[in-house]
């Protein structure tokens, strides 16, 4: 069983665990499967809307998928979320990424 299969089984067992979906998204980014990665990060955000790192990586995947408007929107929302939870490192990363679009 490959890593992606293992992560999907984990997400199946714990569908409300944002980290499981986040890990799937990261694995899909490694495989350059941008649209699927976006879906995985959406599931992570659905499980925990304050999971600020998921917004950052979703934004990255959207940029790679040539979805710049959606990436801008995602990063803007992510900056709001990260600011609210005090995750200033992720705020900085998303601000820098958004400036590149």
| Residue of 20, 97, 86 whose CA lies nearest to 59 | 97
Sorted by where each begins, the domain ranges of the chain are 3-99
Residue whose pair of structure tokens reads 């984990």 in the numeric block: 10
- Which pLDDT score is estimated for 45? 98
Cα distance between residue 92 and residue 40, in whole Å? 23
* Residue 67 region by backbone torsions, left for phi larger than 0, else alpha for psi between -120 and 50, else beta: beta
Per-residue pLDDT of 26-79, as tens digits, reads 999 999 999 999 999 999 999 999 999 999 999 999 999 999 999 999 999 999
pTM above 0.85, yes or no: yes
Mention the CATH class of domain 3-99.
mainly alpha
């Amino acid at each position: 069983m490959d890593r992606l299969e293992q992560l999907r089984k984990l997400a199946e067992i714990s569908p409300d665990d944002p980290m499981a979906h986040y890990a799937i998204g990261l694995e899909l980014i490694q495989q350059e499967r941008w649209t699927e990665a976006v879906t995985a990060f959406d599931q992570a955000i659905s499980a925990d809307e304050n999971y600020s790192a998921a917004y950052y990586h979703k934004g990255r995947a959207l940029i790679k998928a040539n979805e710049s408007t959606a990436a801008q929107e995602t990063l803007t929302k992510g900056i709001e979320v990260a600011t609210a939870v005090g995750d200033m490192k992720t705020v900085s990363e998303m601000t820098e990424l958004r400036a590149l679009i």
